[in-house]
Amino acid sequence: MDIRAVIFDLDGVIVDTAQHHFLAWRRLAEELGIACPPDLKDRVRGISRMEALRIVLGDAWPTYQPQARELADRKDAYYRELIEGLGPQDLLPGVAELVADLKGNRVKVGVATGSRNGKTVLARLGILAEFDAIVDGHSGAESKPAPDLFLYAARALGIPPSQCLVIEDAPAGVLAAELAGMHSLAIGEEKLFSGVRPDLVLPGLAGLTRQGLLRALAEATEGISTWLVEAGDELSPQARETVLAVGNGYLSTRGTYEEKHPGELRATLINGVYDPVPIYFTELANCPDWTRVELEVEGERFSPGSGRVLTEGRTLDLRDGVLRRRVRWRTPRGQQVEIQTMRFASLAEPHLCLQSYAVTPLTEEVQVRLEVPLEAAPGNPGLPPLPEVPLNHWEVLASDAEGRQVHLLLRTRRSGIELAASLGVRIHGVPEERVEVQAWSGPCPGLSLTVRLSPGETLQVAKFVAYATSLETSAPLPCSRAQLAGAGEKGVAELLSEHRAAWGRLWARCDVEIAGDELAQRAVRFNLYQLLIAAPYHTDRASIPAKALTGFGYRGHVFWDTDVFMLPFFALTLPEVARNLLLYRHHTLPGARENARERGYAGARYAWESADDGREVTPRWVPAASGEPIPILCGELEQHISADVAYAVWSYWQASGDAGFMCDQGAEILLATAAFWASIARYDPAKERYEIRGVMGPDEYHERVDNNAFTNAMARWNIEVALDALDWLRHSHPEKAEGLERELGLTGEELARWREVARRMYVPQDPASGLIEQFEGFFQLEEVNLAELAPRTRSLQALLGREGVQQAQVLKQPDVLMLLYLLRDRYDERTVRANWDYYEPRTDHEFGSSLGPPIHAALACELGEIEVAYRHFLRAALVDLEDLRGNTAEGVHAASAGGVWQAVVFGFAGLRLTPTGPVARPRLPGHWKRLRFSIRYRGRRYVFDLTPGMAGPVSPLPGER
Amino acid sequence: MDIRAVIFDLDGVIVDTAQHHFLAWRRLAEELGIACPPDLKDRVRGISRMEALRIVLGDAWPTYQPQARELADRKDAYYRELIEGLGPQDLLPGVAELVADLKGNRVKVGVATGSRNGKTVLARLGILAEFDAIVDGHSGAESKPAPDLFLYAARALGIPPSQCLVIEDAPAGVLAAELAGMHSLAIGEEKLFSGVRPDLVLPGLAGLTRQGLLRALAEATEGISTWLVEAGDELSPQARETVLAVGNGYLSTRGTYEEKHPGELRATLINGVYDPVPIYFTELANCPDWTRVELEVEGERFSPGSGRVLTEGRTLDLRDGVLRRRVRWRTPRGQQVEIQTMRFASLAEPHLCLQSYAVTPLTEEVQVRLEVPLEAAPGNPGLPPLPEVPLNHWEVLASDAEGRQVHLLLRTRRSGIELAASLGVRIHGVPEERVEVQAWSGPCPGLSLTVRLSPGETLQVAKFVAYATSLETSAPLPCSRAQLAGAGEKGVAELLSEHRAAWGRLWARCDVEIAGDELAQRAVRFNLYQLLIAAPYHTDRASIPAKALTGFGYRGHVFWDTDVFMLPFFALTLPEVARNLLLYRHHTLPGARENARERGYAGARYAWESADDGREVTPRWVPAASGEPIPILCGELEQHISADVAYAVWSYWQASGDAGFMCDQGAEILLATAAFWASIARYDPAKERYEIRGVMGPDEYHERVDNNAFTNAMARWNIEVALDALDWLRHSHPEKAEGLERELGLTGEELARWREVARRMYVPQDPASGLIEQFEGFFQLEEVNLAELAPRTRSLQALLGREGVQQAQVLKQPDVLMLLYLLRDRYDERTVRANWDYYEPRTDHEFGSSLGPPIHAALACELGEIEVAYRHFLRAALVDLEDLRGNTAEGVHAASAGGVWQAVVFGFAGLRLTPTGPVARPRLPGHWKRLRFSIRYRGRRYVFDLTPGMAGPVSPLPGER
């Protein structure tokens, strides 16, 4: 950290004038006959005099508002009288020494205060001449928490924001420093600053030197490093975009740079905004981008290959999903500028995105121009084999430019979803009247801002973009306009504060703390962050796609990934999200029924790939480069999806005890899927068993097999829990049960047949060893020695061919082991062990499915193989952070993220949900010093705080409700 | 025609002051000691005084330039002295009476003259008070041919341009009136105005009344009606866009409206700009649009459904490819405005497109705003079944806005073709300083122009767009900038004049005049226009796609349509174009060789669908709505394409005698295709014949057949002409012959085998009747009575199914008859008759291929069935003008357009190219009064002027070389 200037707040940092202000305000209040609030002294600290006046006047504000300025002046006069008595003895401890030490080390010092009496006070204190610059209430700058006072001070000092440190005693001042792009030291009690992000908190300045300050700052930064992600050059540019995505459940936006780069995959995906597309049936339409800004310095555009980037860094803060960037750029003409940007998708106002872009010339005065477009149609990637020819799903219905705002109204071309986006800006750092702003409408509306800046002077543009779609409102454009207007009134500081508070509440419910393993700690938080930015908090009509909303892989389709891999996390931490995910499955039941009917089955057959209406949207084939179609069979064969959805219903029901859901939606899903299984199972009279033939199990290396153990056992389980649910419903909501029986044709005869199907369902297993055969004939397939093929750089399918793996005992991902994992209460450890020993070595862990490693990690814990578990765990936890599979560019592995939580909580912590409540049976990796997390179970919160010493069943601490 | 104001030019219309000007100039010249040019009097007529001064000074201009203004003033003083003597007796005959008659009929009258002495002259003539408005050289308006003087006059009269008539004696004035959007009456000799477009020419005004004027105008308009196309509401909006396309061989642009309409297919296609696309391999990329303008009146946007369009008309002038539009719009607030637009793609400067957009408020003063974007990526239509999700082939490399210009630099995403587009504007009708102009860059740069206009006042924006691609220059952006700068210097009037002159030269070579049949006359010209705007005048690397450049059908691919249907027109009228088309086939020989090699054949196998490199780009399959692939077999089976290309080479060679081409390229194509045929033909020893099995002939209803007569006979012919060409080459260019023999491995043995293949090639024909069997087994297929299915609304394939037509004796298009047409010198009339009688009734004329009707028309002429011929001819000639097949939206039927010319020239005119020269054997439809056309044959021009009385061989009149 290179600190070249320190900017001091005045009151509370250099001198404690709080008492003087308080006395002046109190005198004014007394004269007006108004009773002061008891905590007045604290409340008026560090805020503008007009805000303070409002607090002082309280209910009398409307009466006195017309005289506000006069009253404030009166208070100022009293205050000036009071501070007449100040002298050098009133300097707070350590200030004079710190200033001297800084100056001795050629660090510039300045003061930035909203007070109009700043210079008087400094003069009285005898320290005025020490400061290189003083910016006070006469500067005309917007008051803190706006960044302007600090930016003006930096300009006066001639030092760019990134090299300034602010010393503040008020949270609003700390926030202002952050918004100015400066470092900050907060003076006071730590808890006072919980809502803001000082780099360092100290009780006071006594004894502080430059050296000590730098050391303390470095330590403090180290302390939060597991919350920070800095995707570096070890990742491809497109993988970095995925890793640095920001989002808020309503939308996510990839971490593309502000300026356009060749090959970038710029994307903002709003959940549920699907539009048809050839081959893939439908896909999430890429929405107008809110992050693009193009910079020109003296007519030279900041773009790859132009001039030279001297330093560059980007940091995603997982605590609040804020992405920051700092660049030093030398233009082709040799001028240097500093660029600092910040962006977030508000978690508090999910329709709102906020970005700030700040430019500071470093070497000479330059003309700076920012172009801020609202790009209607960045387009979706094209179809194979030509992803670079994008598809444009949007038709522009209207485009307006008004003053400093532009608005777009779009409609998807086939699905007819309307989307409005409104963009507005606020200017900080230079007086607004100096900035020439132009707005234009048209298919790609936008704004440009032009200004001449002197060295050290910063133009900071805060950009607000509001979105609304016809999925949530009948009037998207008025809605996005209103959102934008509201955002403009609140301003960046308040929006950021609300956003942070919302993230704070989420992490309080979900965080998993791991001590002793920074790599794991950061990776786990990164994976949870991915689940949190993807969660549908506000809708039950959309689920979480396989790549969440961070990329175009699988075109935004929803798989069992959500139900089996992600849902348990939500069910046990944010059950309202789990409920929305299942309501999505309920809303799409008509599509699932149609899927079954079309294929000649009863009940509901969920789509292997699902989108807006539950119809099957797995591509039937994709084009090869040669022009030939490559068939894709999962959509027709992976029947197990229907049992997976039932499993999700059951899991949520177990965790939440949500009887309303079970009665109104859950039971119907369980029964409709059971009806499907009862109709697809065929009785073989010779063998006296029910069979399911011609399917694909979880292991997609074997495409059309008979009696896949996973499918058959899950089908049996599905029928059993459906019958249980029906029993429960008959007792608790008999009229509802009757209705469902009538609707689904569940006569006594039919239910008897279900029981028979479940009882006689064939699952090939050797009773002696417990070994389950993945499907009929698997054991007869060719043996392949995977060790002989190591080290590999490609999947087994790529090596052996599609036909080759079909004929071999190799697995893309756990199949029998997946069954044992899901229904682990039904199998004993001996069975788990026997099957583990058989299947684990035959599985393509590195290049098969990313769904495998977290499940293997959890199962390995159960078998006590902690080192093996940890290896599998890391393979899952780092899949995107280190792009282990080379496809992070297409979006995060959201199922793996859910699996990582399961590996930690069910694996290392050994969580079991027992009839008497949750218990843990920890088996932590040797180097972990602590594992702490909480769950919500049947309406109550439980905290697990596990350390290496613990063994056997550990009960949780009760958490707040 | 509603004329509410007449605007008189002064000199030459109201009074002849030419003599006075001449004398004043001569006096000045004498004083300076400069000899006047002999034709000075005529040369200074109707031009500005500064231009006149230049002419007077001649070589002395540089010397006197510093004093120019002073000299002009001196001349003016002499002139004023001279005109002192003018009086009412000097009024030209008829002026006073016409003015009085107009005023009596409530038609306003005004004068618009560049002269600074206008009012003095009118006062001397005693007529000053008669005029409602006078605009003269003091107005500050740009001089004629700029439209400003007339627009200023219209404003002063309060009448919109469309209701003004200008009376002028100078071509520059007539042009200015046209550019102002006004009607015009030219006074003088007709030939004086051949370069401009007055609505009417009269020798003088004597005896003219308002009534007489209107009658004469109506007659004159009627006289050019066969040159005008007004696609009306009987066509779908997208078909209208196709029909109203403009182009210049370099590019074509569909006739979309200026403002965006829902469902529009906005497209500018530049020939040769291909980029890969899934399924179709490659396609012409839709280029930035130059025609879009959005109008706002008092903030209300002119768009479908907003306010009301009171009247609207669009006219494409086939004489010069200028598209004009006139609209009267009532805004939602009730204000009325007149809009007049005009556009053309310059034939003289093929990189340049020009559009003018004029708005005139009619009812009250309003704020007018024009938005003029340069839209980077309108996109190509998407893939089936979702054409509405467009594909975007362009990456934006740079975008600039500078003053009143914007520039774009783009690159196709895979093929890497760079394209630059530069847009600039000039303002007419109001002083420039009153118009607020804003320019913006970004992905969709543009300009906006805002001004307040009073009623009758016109804002006219002339918009210049220049294109350049890396296909023709290594520096597209400097090139488009330079083009734009050059265009700005020339101005609209000069560019339009050059453009018209170029079109005049084309039509002089190509026009076909038909008297007595307006429908046919307009339709034939329309079809020729389509060929002329598609012709690759400037490149030999691109050909003419099946839909020319007017739509996205067949994705811009090139078929035999060009070689067999279009090429004969060019070979016999514009041989340099035919040569370019064949050089394209020569440049793509490597691709054709590769196609052959890949399929295991020798020589060159041309692609059924060809694009930039000659590789086969017929889609192998297209997606159905259900997600299933529909196979397309033409690309693999329609082998006849290689003989079709050879046929084109031979035709051109016969028509042009271009030995250089034959030596350097033609012979190679003939030999390489012959080698292909020799390798694909298989000898059947049992039957002692060569066969070609598993092909598709021209009739695509039968997909995989053996010994298709067309294919086999054309293959035989191909080998024969190749051997002839080799003989010719051995004699004329022995070293070239040797080279080819070596390269193609043409040993004596191999050539002997070729002769054997040709000799023993099997063509199934009944020697008795002459009836040829379309392919082996055709006669055994099911008979279908087409009459029983009439009237139909769908193709036979749609009715009977793909398998159904395969099994039936029904044809999509002529196959055996096509063979007889192409090789008609080899078959006697008896054979033609027998096959006509068999196949014509079995062909799907209405809904089969559009390639059929013109060929049937030509053959019917040969058989003397003129009425049948005329029916087929109209079916071809009107296919797009009346959208007979319902697919004109996808682009024009360019092959049919070529076929229409062939039907007229080879059919009705009976043209034969004999060793002694071309002769006609006319058999005109009964109601045709005259058929006149010219051809170019072996370097000489021949004019045929045929009337109904003529019969037997008619020799042409020689034309100018």
Mean pLDDT over each residue of chain B, to the nearest integer: 95
How far is it, in rounded angstroms, from Cα A288 to Cα B916?
69
pLDDT by residue (tens digit) across B139-160? 888 999 999 999 999 999 999 9
Q: Do A438 and B438 touch (CB under 8 A)?
A: yes
Which residue in A708, A442, A697, A914 sits closest to B371, CA to CA? A442
Which residue in A760, A754, A761, A670 sits closest to A710, CA to CA? A761
Counting every residue, how long is chain A? 961
Positive or negative: CA dihedral A802, A807, A811, A817: positive
Q: Do A386 and B278 touch (CB under 8 A)?
A: yes
Q: Which residues contact B129 (CB under 8 A, 6 or more apart)?
A: none
Q: Do A627 and B391 touch (CB under 8 A)?
A: no
Counting every residue, how long is chain B? 961
Q: Quick check: B895 and B880 in contact, CB under 8 A?
A: no
User: How far apart are the CA of B279 and the nearest CA of chain A, in angstroms?
Assistant: 6
Residues of B at the A interface (Cβ-Cβ below 8 Å)? 260, 262, 275-279, 281, 294, 371, 373, 375, 377, 379, 382-386, 388-393, 395-396, 413-414, 438, 440-444, 446, 448, 619-621, 623, 627-629
User: How far apart are the CA of B388 and the nearest CA of chain A, in angstroms?
Assistant: 6
User: How far apart are the CA of A482 and the nearest CA of chain B, in angstroms?
Assistant: 21
Strand, helix or coil at B136? coil
Selected for mutation to probe chain B from A392, A407, A414 (highest B CB count within 10 Å) is A392
Q: Do A279 and B385 touch (CB under 8 A)?
A: no
Q: Quick check: B616 and B609 in contact, CB under 8 A?
A: yes
Half-sphere exposure of A31 (CA within 13 A, CB side): 11
Q: Do B623 and A440 touch (CB under 8 A)?
A: no
| Residue B623 with chain A: CB contacts under 8 Å | 278-279
How far is it, in rounded angstroms, from Cα B472 to Cα B475?
9
Three-state SS for B502-541 is HHHHHHHHHCEEEECCHHHHHHHHHHHHHHHHHCCCCCCC
User: How far apart are the CA of B464 and the nearest CA of chain A, in angstroms?
Assistant: 19
Q: Do B413 and A371 touch (CB under 8 A)?
A: no
Kindly state the tokens that stand for A58.
């309280």
Q: What is the pTM of this model?
A: 0.90
Question: Which of B386, B414, B623 faces A388 most closely, judged by CB atoms?
Answer: B414
User: How far apart are the CA of A393 and the nearest CA of chain B, in angstroms?
Assistant: 5
Question: Which of A375, A413, A627 faces B443 most closely, judged by CB atoms?
Answer: A375
Q: Residues A700, A741, A773, A890: which is the catalytic one?
A: A700
- Over its C-alpha atoms, chain A yields an Rg (Å, rounded) of 31
The nearest alpha carbon in chain A to B412 belongs to A389
Q: Quick check: A912 and A919 in contact, CB under 8 A?
A: yes
CB burial of residue B798 (10 Å; 0-12, 13-18, 19+) = middle
Rounded to 5 degrees, what angle do the CA atoms A268, A274, A278 make?
A: 110
pLDDT by residue (tens digit) across B445-469? 999 999 999 999 999 999 999 999 9
| Residue A393 with chain B: CB contacts under 8 Å | 389
Residue A922 is classified by DSSP as: -
How far is it, in rounded angstroms, from Cα B841 to Cα B849?
15
| Residue A396 with chain B: CB contacts under 8 Å | 260
Beta partners for B49?
A: none
| Residue A629 with chain B: CB contacts under 8 Å | 621, 629
Question: Which stretches in chain A have pLDDT values below 70?
Answer: 377, 960-961
User: How far apart are the CA of B160 and the nearest CA of chain A, in angstroms?
Assistant: 29
Question: Which of B371, B382, B620 faces A441 most closely, judged by CB atoms?
Answer: B371
Question: Which of A391, A440, A620 faces B382 most closely, judged by CB atoms?
Answer: A391
Q: Do A438 and B441 touch (CB under 8 A)?
A: no
The nearest alpha carbon in chain A to B281 belongs to A627
The nearest alpha carbon in chain B to A379 belongs to B392
Tell me the pairing of strands A228-229 and A308-317. antiparallel
User: How far apart are the CA of A392 and the nearest CA of chain B, in angstroms?
Assistant: 5
The nearest alpha carbon in chain B to A292 belongs to B442
| Residue B414 with chain A: CB contacts under 8 Å | 386, 388-389
The nearest alpha carbon in chain A to B276 belongs to A386
Selected for mutation to probe chain A from B296, B369, B375, B389 (highest A CB count within 10 Å) is B389
pLDDT of the residue at A961: 47
Kindly state the tokens that stand for A66.
């017309």
Q: Residues B375, B609, B668, B700: which is the catalytic one?
A: B700
User: How far apart are the CA of A619 and the nearest CA of chain B, in angstroms?
Assistant: 7
The DSSP string of A601-645 is -SS----SSB-SS------SEEE-TTSPEEE--HHHH-TTHHHHH
Q: Quick check: B303 and A409 in contact, CB under 8 A?
A: no
pLDDT above 70 (res B961): no
Residue B803 known to be catalytic: no
Question: Which of B390, B393, B621 faces A629 most closely, judged by CB atoms?
Answer: B621
Selected for mutation to probe chain A from B441, B450, B598, B632 (highest A CB count within 10 Å) is B441
User: How far apart are the CA of B644 and the nearest CA of chain A, in angstroms?
Assistant: 26
How far is it, in rounded angstroms, from Cα B132 to Cα B806?
76
How far is it, in rounded angstroms, from Cα B417 to Cα B470?
6
Question: Which of A396, A444, A620 faces B443 most closely, judged by CB atoms?
Answer: A444
| Residue A413 with chain B: CB contacts under 8 Å | 386, 388-389
pLDDT of the residue at B39: 84
How far is it, in rounded angstroms, from Cα A615 to Cα B153?
67
pLDDT of the residue at B116: 85
pLDDT of the residue at A960: 59
Q: Which residues contact B362 (CB under 8 A, 6 or more apart)?
A: B160, B328, B335, B336, B337, B338, B455, B456
- CB–CB contacts below 8 A, A to B: 109
pLDDT above 80 (res B887): yes
Kindly state the tokens that stand for A402.
């008004």
Q: Do B379 and A392 touch (CB under 8 A)?
A: yes
How far is it, in rounded angstroms, from Cα B821 to Cα B832?
9
Kindly state the tokens that stand for A736.
């509802």
Positive or negative: CA dihedral B43, B53, B498, B232: negative
Q: Do B396 and A444 touch (CB under 8 A)?
A: no
Q: Do B389 and A389 touch (CB under 8 A)?
A: no
Kindly state the tokens that stand for A334.
């040799």
Kindly state the tokens that stand for B9.
């030019």
Q: Which residues contact A617 (CB under 8 A, 6 or more apart)?
A: A280, A281, A282, A557, A607, A609, A610, A611, A635
Q: Do A619 and B629 touch (CB under 8 A)?
A: no
**A744 to A593, A676, A700, A725, B440: CA distances (angstroms):** 11, 11, 32, 14, 62
Q: Do B278 and A413 touch (CB under 8 A)?
A: no
Tell me the pairing of strands A133-135 and A108-112. parallel
Q: Do B446 and A440 touch (CB under 8 A)?
A: yes
The DSSP string of B2-24 is ---EEEE-SBTTTB--HHHHHHH
Question: Which of B386, B391, B440 faces A382 most closely, judged by CB atoms?
Answer: B391
Residues of A at the B interface (Cβ-Cβ below 8 Å)? 260, 262, 275-279, 281, 294, 371, 373, 375, 377, 379, 382-386, 388-393, 395-396, 413-414, 438, 440-444, 446, 448, 619-621, 623, 627-629
